[in-house]
Structure 1
Amino acid sequence: MPLKSKRPRIAPLEPPYDDESAAALDLLGPPIGLFRVWARRPDLARGIAGWGSYYLSRRSALTLRQRELVIDRTTALCGADYEWGVHVATFAGKAGLDAGQLASLATGGPADACWDAADRAVLTAVDEFHATADLADGTWADLVTAVGEDATLEVVLVCGWYHAISFTVRALRLPLEPGTGPVAGGR
């Protein structure tokens, strides 16, 4: 369904920031548009930053590649150009994702030849979770075999979190950040 307006619905904060908003932005990371919207509500931003600091930490059971597979596929399935663009520009190279794999994440599927068995298990779970809000026993078992039980839990949590982020950036109508692009091929 086409969007009616591309104008942001809530304007991101612009500098100079008050002390409370600046402190929230310090916790969130670089002052990209989404973070500057959240910083309008510093208490909300601090709560979000707490989750982000966990899943980006060394305590995460997911590898950087696994995390980015979940995020990139989820944002592509949701048509969240803003979040896709930020993650692809920032993390795709670090996660070892090549152009063919990015194209598959955008418009292909887990059965594409560019994926190994572990990547395929992650992507199959993401696709199924997106479509059904659940995982069949076989999908769950395949994911546990591929990444382990702790990482399987995090796949579900990160996938759900990035559905929420995708819904948020779409509803906010945030413009792409400089140097980023939309989901290739669109959805």
Structure 2
Amino acid sequence: MPRFSKQRLDPVEPPYDAETAAALEALGPPIALFGVLARRPERARAVHGWGSYYLSRRSAMTLRQRELVIDRTTARCGAGYEFGVHVAVFAGKVGLDSAQVASLASGGPDDPCWEDPADRAVLRAVDALYDGDDLSDELWAELVRAVGEEGAIDLLLVCGWYHAVSYVARVLRLPDEPGTKGFATTIR
């Protein structure tokens, strides 16, 4: 995966005014991405309101399926920063082993580590969306069998949302967060 030049924009730094502090608290842990978004607290609140609550806490997909979507999307978009954050926080929680993490970064849904047909269907859908911005009728049917109709809609939203997040993280050249390894987590 590519290595980038230095970070392009600095996140807000303490001391924070009350509006910025509230926006940062709503977004979550004090990582660089959230600090950059909070340079304009109204933007941070909008991002939190659109993507955060429903897509992370109320989705019709399982937590594992959601993380497969996020990890594969950020990997395909070359956003090592966001990939590393999610792998560090969620890989263990959702039962991803090192072969699966490596496959998410640089393999494919037909790699031997993906035994569950639902995992493969989710990954195939993410790859098809990345490659062609659409799903064939056959792939749509496979996805609905794996995650249900509501889960399929949520997959589209999560995939699109993390495509946007990947643009931000990649273009801003955000360095890996402490305790994360970006794409270095995939060394076999």
Contact kept, 8 Å, 1:6 with 1:175, in 2: the verdict is no
Q: How does 1:78-117 map to 2 (within 5 A)?
A: 78-115=77-114, 116-117=116-117
Q: How does 1:37-56 map to 2 (within 5 A)?
A: 37-50=36-49, 51-56=51-56
The runs of 5 or more residues in structure 2 that have no matched partner are: none
Equivalent residue number for residue 172 of structure 1: 172
Q: Which of 39-48 and 5-14 deviates more?
A: 5-14
Distance 1:72 1:60 in 2: 16
The runs of 5 or more residues in structure 1 that have no matched partner are: none
Counting aligned pairs with the same residue, the percent is 62
Q: Normalized against structure 1, the TM-score is what? A: 0.94
Q: How does 1:1-187 map to 2 (within 5 A)?
A: 6-50=5-49, 51-57=51-57, 59-115=58-114, 116-184=116-184
Contact kept, 8 Å, 2:2 with 2:78, in 1: the verdict is no
How far is 1:2 from its partner? Answer: 5.5
Distance 1:2 1:91, change over 3 A: closer
Q: Normalized against structure 2, the TM-score is what? A: 0.94
How far is 1:54 from its partner? Answer: 1.3
Distance 1:18 1:8 in 2: 24
Q: Aligned pair count? A: 184
How far is 1:66 from its partner? Answer: 0.2
Distance 1:160 1:54 in 2: 14
Contact kept, 8 Å, 1:80 with 1:166, in 2: the verdict is yes
| Aligned-residue RMSD, C-alpha | 1.5
Distance 2:94 2:135 in 1: 25
How far is 1:6 from its partner? Answer: 2.2
Aligned partner letter, 2:159: C
Distance 2:42 2:81 in 1: 23
Instruction: Give deviations 1:15-40, integer Å, cap 9, x for gaps.
Output: 11111110000100011000000111
